[in-house]
A and B are shown apart, each in its own frame.
Chain A
Amino acid sequence: MTVGFSAHQIPRQPLPQILKDHYFATKVDTVVTVSFGLLTLWFLWSILEWAVLHAYFDPANRDACVQSKGACWAVVSARWRIVLFGLYPFEEQWRSGLACLAIILTVGLSCLPWFWNAKRLPMLWIAGFAAFYILMRGGVFGLTPVNERDWGGLALTLFIFAAVVLIGMPLAIVFALLRRSELPWISRTMALVIDTIRSLPLLTIMFAFAIVLPFATPHWMSGQQLYRVIVGYAIFFACYQAEIIRGGMQSLPAGQEEAAKALGLGYWQRISHIVLPQAFRNALPPTINQVVITFKETSLVTIIGFFDILASGRAASGTSEWSFATVEVYVFVAFIFFVFVFSLSRYGAYLERRLGVGVR
């Protein structure tokens, strides 16, 4: 759908002309513009009234809050530490905050093209994840140890997300290679596994790994519930991501691999130097999309009983003192998710335009 001009080559039209073309071109357009415009205004006004004009921000005003018909942001200013850090020891919460920053920084740096090669990106993620783990777990460098059971809030959500991507990505490459194997029994088995897992809901996979695995494996293999859920989620992620990578591989011209073969490169050299780099480039937009979805669906662990940001949000308004302000806490948590997900998906859309992948 792109025309042969870039944005700055098209002469800008004067504002009245834009208004006429896009808002008041026909009578029907005028009616639509006016009615939708009024609807939007009414909507924005009610939100403004609820969220700002009639709202209270100071926890001291709790009693006034109960009477008011506006939002009660006081609950957020009183309980934001619970929402972000859960039951993490109060004096140590700066560690939790720093750890969250480490993950956010890792995700942010992965967006820079400088990191996009087979050495730098894994190094970046392993470093970010290690920093997170050391800060949270403690026990070294004079940090007091904190058990995983006490992790919670945003930190736990980010931990599960980062661990799933870190384990799932290499797994996805393995799955995709097995799926493309020339031995039919390998590729067919892998296809069956991938299709089966893809047609099951994530929640049932997490549930199976959390509840069933201890029955089916020897005691020493079952490990902590948190890590079992992460492994289950990583396998689920890998099945989706494997199909995306396979799509990227299939869109490569066959000549690429044939040329590599003709040059005498071995299988691993072909895969790591010719096929995978190009496949990842082709598959970049759907990969970002998958990462975004993974981050959003991390919130499902709250159903299995983990104290992630959603559960800690519910706990923040769970006491009788703030029980009337549930909606405000949900809006606050939703806002946190929105900021992460919206910026990542905008970045994905920008990348898609820049690489021109969507056009070809």
Chain B
Amino acid sequence: MMVLTARTNLAAQGLTSGFGFLERTTGWRISFSLIEYSTSSTYARAILVGLLNSLFLGVLSLPLATLIGISIGVMRTSGNGMAELLGTIYVEIFRNVPIILQLFFWYALLLALPSPRNADPILGSIALTGRGIYIPGLNVSGASVLVAVLILLAGAALHLRGRKTRWARADRGQIRREQRFLWAVASLFTVMCFWLGRLPGTPLLSLPEARGLNFDGGISISPELMACVIAISVYGGAYIAEIIRSGFNAVPKGMSEAGRALGLSGFQVFARIRLPLAIRIVMPTMINQFVWLFKATTIGIAISFTDFFMVISTSINQSGQTLELIGILMAGFLAINYSLAWVLNRVNDAIALRGTQLRM
């Protein structure tokens, strides 16, 4: 019934249904793209650009939010009155104001930075301007960056594997030597990868330089991306801090007292007893929070950061293929969120306490 109505309504506007439009060229520009894109690219490619931008935003802001959340959460459970006060102020301010308002606020602040002509680079290489933030970068191809990231991820995975078998084997020193060797090899490969992938005819390190009305060289971060990253990580950090705090509060007091009785220092009790236990307690809540935070990346459209949602809504305006594009949008978010939850659930299973470790 709904499909039929949709057909007649669409036909009345002279639109055809189906996914054939994905092969057509878009004819509009996208301001920020990780892969090659021009006005003659197809709709399919534009949607891919949007998807990658959304993922990129998530990859930047989720870890940052976690970092902020853990620091604030630790501050609020540290037992030091001043640290608790500061943490409380942070959480109450940023949790009680809508994220979109915070996004507008940060965006307004970033745009109010001095123009590139008047900007004074900090330490000669980082420039904060109203048109974006310029930092030093490497002149390497995108593919080699991807390979380097994969190498580092593999290194981290092997490192964790080593840790898992550590309890079974007696010789800790050997494992530590193995891990050191592992990281040496990984960093060697990374450097080699960058060296092979550098763009011909340019120095490896590129620094932003003032040239005319703008800066040249280095990596430029647009104010839109920057505002999104700041807003999502600051807002998400406040929520994660509360989760972390409840996790620390749920660790039985006897655990840290036992640690102190065994002669561990305050820091050791924190790093070896309270933190690992708290992380395991909060993991299921955190997975929900990450999925929720990733959904928050859609607010980028408010300041026209070209994320997945923005590309879809522009495509709807331009092509009129409303139903198909909404379908793609929903399928994309379902796929991303389910895979994010799946990966994090595997991590949760991997670090869960089991067998003899379960004496809480």
Q: Does B184 contact A (CB under 8 A)?
A: no
- Residues on A with beta carbons closer than 8 Å to the beta carbon of B322: 211-212, 215
The yes or no answer to A338 lying at the interface (CB within 8 A) is: yes
The B interface, classified by DSSP as helix, strand, loop or mixed, is helix
Residue B5 at the A interface, CB < 8 A?
yes
List chain A residues, Cβ under 8 A from B5: 216-218
Given A200-B330, A327-B108, does the pair A303, B85 have CB atoms closer than 8 Å? no
How far does the alpha carbon of A202 sit from the alpha carbon of B294 in the complex, in Å?
Answer: 12
- Residue B150 is within 8 A (CB to CB) of chain A in the complex: no
Q: Chain A: how many interface residues by the 8 Å CB criterion?
A: 48
Which interface residue of B79, B85, B96 has the most chain A CB atoms within 10 A?
A: B96
A96 to chain B, nearest CB (A): 21
B323 & A215 in contact (Cβ 8 Å cutoff): yes
Contact of A201 with B82 at beta-carbon distance under 8 Å, contacts A207-B313, A216-B2, A217-B5 already known:
no
Q: Is the CB of A199 within 8 A of B80?
A: no
Binary flags per residue of B226-267, CB closer than 8 Å to A gives 1, else 0: 000000000000000000000001000000000000000010
B2 → A minimal CB distance (Å):
5
Contact of B101 among A32, A196, A299 (CB under 8 A): A299
Contact with B along A26-41 (1 / 0, CB 8 A): 1011001100110110
Would A203 and B82 count as touching, CB distance under 8 A? no
Interface positions of B (Cβ within 8 A of A):
2-3, 5-6, 9-10, 78-83, 85-86, 89, 92-93, 95-102, 104-105, 108-109, 112, 249, 266, 291, 295-296, 298-299, 301-302, 309, 313, 316, 322-323, 326, 329-330, 333-334, 337-338
List the interface of chain A (C-beta within 8 A of B).
Answer: 1, 22-23, 25-26, 28-29, 32-33, 36-37, 39-40, 196, 199-204, 207-208, 211-212, 214-218, 296-297, 299-300, 302-303, 310, 314, 326-327, 330-331, 333-334, 337-338, 341-342, 345
28 contacts between A and B (CB under 8 A): A22-B79, A22-B80, A25-B79, A36-B80, A40-B85, A40-B86, A40-B89, A199-B291, A199-B337, A203-B298, A203-B301, A204-B326, A207-B309, A208-B330, A212-B326, A296-B96, A296-B98, A296-B99, A299-B100, A302-B302, A327-B105, A331-B105, A333-B101, A334-B101, A337-B96, A338-B93, A341-B97, A342-B92
Q: A201-B296, A204-B333, A337-B101 are known; give 18 further A-B pairs, CB within 8 A.
A: A1-B249, A22-B80, A23-B81, A32-B78, A32-B83, A33-B83, A40-B85, A199-B291, A201-B295, A216-B323, A300-B299, A303-B302, A330-B105, A331-B105, A337-B96, A338-B93, A342-B92, A342-B96
